Amino acid sequence: MGIIAWVVLGLIAGAIAKAIYPGHQGGGIFATIGLGILGSLLGGFLGSLLLGGGAGTASLSIPGVFFAVLGAILLIFIWGLVTRRAA
């Protein structure tokens, strides 16, 4: 998958994750894209680990977006823990 597809998937996953995750999250559009891209990488990795490599979890598909959103939600949760302690 090309870098453009990862950025698009990360943007979609970050936006959906921020909309789903309860409460206020800091950060703007660049934080959303960054957490979304990292979340899509994490979610795709975990999805392929749990479901096997051929499950379509690292692509622009419904399972790919699902696991990317789950990964982004996990990263938003961890980011909230890290920034809450620092503040």
Answer whether residue 55 shows pLDDT above 70.
no
Rounded Cα distance between 44 and 9, Å, is 11
Answer whether residue 1 shows pLDDT above 60.
no
Find all residues with CB under 8 Å of 66, minimum gap 6, and list them: 43, 47
Distances (CA, A) of 16 to 42, 58, 79, 87: 16, 17, 16, 26
Q: Identify the band that residue 23 occupies on the pLDDT scale cut at 50, 70 and 90.
A: low
For the full predicted model, state whether its pTM sits above 0.85. no
Q: What is the mean pLDDT of the chain?
A: 74
Rounded Cα distance between 14 and 19, Å, is 9
